[in-house]
Amino acid sequence: MNSTLKLIETNGQYLIDSRDVAEYIDKRHDHLLRDIKKYIDVISTNPNLGALDFFVPSTYQDNKGQVRPHYLLTKKGCEMVANKMTGEKGVLFTAEYVTRFNEMEHYLQTGYSQLSPQLQHMIRLEQKQNEQDKRLGRLEDNLSIDSFQQNVIQKQIKKRVYE
């Protein structure tokens, strides 16, 4: 546990690389991937939960140039991994990821306070829009709708964006 967890910003979301988590908790990365896949399988059985809210699949290129899988963990994903751990490693990992995410939240809050009220409002609207896009994406994945329902939804979205 010599490393520190580094937050990665992707599309306005802050994530932690599963390779960093594995190194931090002194676990083989392939074993952590195996565990995460099991968590995703269980999460996927509940239509009210989205696995992407916890774990974002991704790839990286290793030293040999081969493309390998890894996950980017959200704060919820870190909580899931931490809740499955016991002992000193679990406590230290929990303390580390909570510290990193809280530092980022504090930075964002204090950074926003220095911006003009209009810009703060625009950022909040952007965040809400991103959340709604995620929710809509999950709905689209889980539900099929007819063309009339799709037109109603599109009109509501356009109205919301206009507002």
- The residue that leads in pLDDT, 13 or 142, is 13
Q: What pLDDT, on a 0 to 100 scale, did the predictor assign at position 32?
A: 95
- The residue that leads in pLDDT, 24 or 115, is 24
74-113 residue pLDDT tens: 988 988 888 887 777 777 777 778 777 777 777 766 766 5
Residue 49 makes CB contacts below 8 A (sequence gap 6+) with: 43
Read off the pLDDT of each residue in 17-23 and give the average, rounded to a whole number: 93
Q: What pLDDT, on a 0 to 100 scale, did the predictor assign at position 73?
A: 93
Read off the pLDDT of each residue in 17-36 and give the average, rounded to a whole number: 93
Query: The dihedral of CA 38, 59, 106, 125: what is its sign?
Result: negative
Domain boundaries, given as residue ranges, for the chain: 1-114, 116-163
Angle at 120 between CA 114 and CA 122, to 5 degrees: 150
pTM metric for this prediction: 0.59
48-62 residue pLDDT tens: 888 899 999 999 998
Q: CB of 25 within 8 A of CB of 93?
A: yes
Q: What pLDDT, on a 0 to 100 scale, did the predictor assign at position 119?
A: 65
Tokens of 160: 């919301």
